[in-house]
Amino acid sequence: MMSCSENPPSPSTPVSARILTGESITTCLSPLVHDLICNLGFELRENCDINSIVTQNGEVCWKAITDRVSYAESGPSLDYRRSVRLLGPVCEAIHLHISSLTRAQFEIKYSPWFQWTAYPELFLEIFDALKSLYPPAISLSVMKLASCLERALGDVFLLIGKECPFLLRDLLASAELAQVFGHAVSVICCLNGLDGRTESLHWVSLWTQPEKHLVAWLCFPSRHSSKVLFSYAVVDSRTGSVTEELPSPSKSHTGTSTFCNSYKPRGCDRFPWFADCTMLLLSQLEAGLRRVFAAVNKCPDRLLTAESTILYTTFDEILAKHLNDGSINQLPHFLGESAMEFLWDFLNYQEGPRIRDRLSHGEINLREFPREAASQLLTFSLVLLLRFTEEDTLSELKEEAAIQLLVSLAEGYRSRCHPAFQLQKQVLNCEKSLGMWPVLPVPEEPGQEAARLEGNSEAYACNSLISKILCELCHHIPGSTCVVNGLDGLPPEKWPQLLKELCSTRIPTLFCPRLVLEVLVVLRGISSQCQRVADQVIASLQLRHRQWVERTLRSRQRQNYLRMLNSVRLLSPVLYLILLLLALELVSVHTVHSKSAQDRQQYLRFLKLILQYTENLVAYTNQEKNKWNEAITLSHAALLRIWTFSEKKQMLMQLAKQSTNQVDTS
């Protein structure tokens, strides 16, 4: 993406100038790209005989096709414009041929050859779309077909390759596909000519409808691809079915615009599948936000489309903090933090659904796409739509209770997929697991053995340290008036509410600095290990109690069980203490920037020591090891480290309080 201009758009740049006025436009494609997609392939009026392209028995005459692929004079790269012009009559012949078939004829003749794609029924849907007079169905067919073919070609790549390229253009140019398809590499080049770097048909906006000829053309090579795969023993030559299992499209755990002409979501009500609706919404959302992005950043119109030397301005640039020239992207300020957090959740965060990437790369089972994801995206799109609604219409809409609710929910949205929120969720889940420990059944212990085990001096030292550390931590709880009850610590009933309040604190997440993310990675690692300990202890307590009642424990196992019961009494407050430490450090996580480089390293080293302790605790509390006395010794050492570091006043919660005190006294 090129840098944006510092000057306002001139009257000769109507798209960006009119974007915020709601004035209707017909396309965001530049004249060059519009001509390439809509006009170029129809310039040659040549009657291309279908029999010269495909024989009666279904064999493709590839030379008749590849002879029309043109290359640049200066090198091996494709001449897109000339290739598209020459391939136009071929596309038209293929389109007319497929259009002349009935659905039954198409299914009988071609369905077996689509099995290698793992989504053969899609081609029948596309056949119906070609017969349709409903324009969005054609756009949707392009998107779904390109996604399906990319996934299928990726599966072929993995037959001999290790790591499949992320981008389709790189996949098409790979040596692995050339090795599999042999002489059919030229066909891949043909595909690349229609789905290349910048003149891509993938995710084309609905404002310019791709011609049905191109949809038919994209369907056509699939038959040859299926034939080539016979030699790789993955397709039965008689039935066309897969005989060797290919990597199947991964199922996303997918959680949960639209600016088309006058910013109205188009076509979604006509498609029953939620994935279809989402694909239509996303294509419009990206194109619409591209227009807003160009306007608020005073960008030239050329950023609204791809050219021969300029890539599309995608969500990556649209949602970034900075432009390529280093200046601040004005779109986040224009949309607001809540809207940006929703977009990052849905599209960017690694632990989010990333539905655009997964849909476009064929990683989602379209039939199993969740209704909730489509519903939430549509809801967000409608709320965003209100930002561009004329004032007189908007005043009427604001009176609607449903609209008021949607706007309220959108304005209060907070990230669900950022590592900070994930840590909060982890802490609360771990607290619930710890809360189960006291309610699990335990046997009546022999008094003499219990007294001997409880007299452990190291356990007493641990309790003393827990009390001291807890007193220090409580001073940093926002608005806290909690009192530590001596060696008993906080009353058990106070822990859930305390941690819940801390974990409801809103942490700034948008454009989170790298250093903050580094801290969050370690904090989440600690929380994950605490959860493992909590789950292991629950499983062990349940198993041993059942064996105790059934009298199947040997003498040594009975002693080990009693040691476990005593250790659990100590480990419970230790883990609660660590959860409190994690929650408090998260609240103040952004103060890590106030540390010097040396102090940051010491702080990260301290966190990693706690992480190492929890990892070792996972090993000691495993049912196969049952090193409960060693767990006490390990916990004592960890508590000493926490107390020693807290005395240095270098925890983030301590730095945050110091900063607040300085502001109050200034």
Check residues 587 and 245 and name the one with the higher pLDDT: 587
| Same domain, residue pair 501 and 449 | yes
Please enumerate in sequence order all residues whose Cβ is within 8 A of that of 212, keeping only pairs 6 or more positions apart, or say none. Answer: 95, 99, 130, 138
| Degrees to nearest 5, angle at CA 251 with 242 and 406 | 145
CA distance 169 to 171: 5
Compute CA distances 33 → 213, 312, 660, whole Å: 17, 11, 56
Q: What is the 3-state secondary structure (H, E, C) of 205-235?
A: CCCCCCCHHHHHHHHCHHHHHHHHHHHHCCE
Say which DSSP state 8 is in.
Answer: P
| Same domain, residue pair 200 and 94 | yes
Q: What residues make up the domain containing 327?
A: 268-389
Burial 571-600 (b: 16+ CB within 10 A, else e): bbbbbbbbbbbbbbbbbbbbbbeebeeeeb
Q: Is residue 182 part of a domain?
A: yes
* pLDDT, tens digit, 9 for 90 and up, residues 424-481: 999 999 999 999 999 888 887 554 444 554 556 788 889 889 999 998 998 888 775 5
Q: Average pLDDT, stretch 60-70?
A: 80
| Same domain, residue pair 431 and 324 | no
Distance of CA 269 to the CA centre of its chain: 26
Q: Which of 10-24, 65-79, 223-237, 454-468 has the highest mean pLDDT?
A: 454-468
* pLDDT, tens digit, 9 for 90 and up, residues 492-538: 788 899 999 999 999 999 999 999 999 999 999 999 999 999 999 99
Task: Examine the pLDDT at 124 and tell me if it is beyond 50.
Answer: yes
| pLDDT bracket for residue 259 (50, 70, 90) | very low
| Degrees to nearest 5, angle at CA 570 with 525 and 627 | 75
Q: Which of 40-49, 177-186, 304-313 has the highest mean pLDDT?
A: 40-49
| Degrees to nearest 5, angle at CA 574 with 571 and 579 | 125
* pLDDT, tens digit, 9 for 90 and up, residues 609-630: 999 999 999 999 998 888 998 9
Q: Is residue 282 part of a domain?
A: yes
| Same domain, residue pair 501 and 587 | yes
CA distance 182 to 184: 5
CA distance 578 to 582: 6
Domain count, the chain: 3
Task: Examine the pLDDT at 252 and tell me if it is beyond 70.
Answer: no
Tokens of 631: 């767990």
Q: Is residue 239 part of a domain?
A: no
Q: Which pLDDT score is estimated for 245?
A: 34
Q: Is residue 22 part of a domain?
A: no
Please enumerate in sequence order all residues whose Cβ is within 8 A of that of 3, keeping only pairs 6 or more positions apart, or say none. Answer: 323, 324, 325, 327
Contact yes or no for 644/606 (Cβ under 8 A): no
**Listed residues 348, 373, 389: the one ending a domain:** 389
| Same domain, residue pair 446 and 377 | no
| pLDDT bracket for residue 484 (50, 70, 90) | low
Q: Which pLDDT score is estimated for 313?
A: 77
| Same domain, residue pair 527 and 476 | yes
| Same domain, residue pair 290 and 425 | no
| Same domain, residue pair 338 and 222 | no
Contact yes or no for 366/141 (Cβ under 8 A): no
Say which DSSP state 245 is in.
Answer: P
Mean pLDDT for the chain? 77
| Same domain, residue pair 101 and 185 | yes
Q: Average pLDDT, stretch 84-106?
A: 85
Tokens of 5: 């201009």
**Listed residues 232, 250, 280: the one ending a domain:** 232
Q: Is residue 221 part of a domain?
A: yes
| Same domain, residue pair 226 and 292 | no
3-state class (DSSP) for residue 54: strand
Q: Is residue 188 part of a domain?
A: yes
Q: Is residue 21 part of a domain?
A: no
| Same domain, residue pair 193 and 287 | no
Check residues 639 and 53 and name the one with the higher pLDDT: 639
| Same domain, residue pair 376 and 432 | no
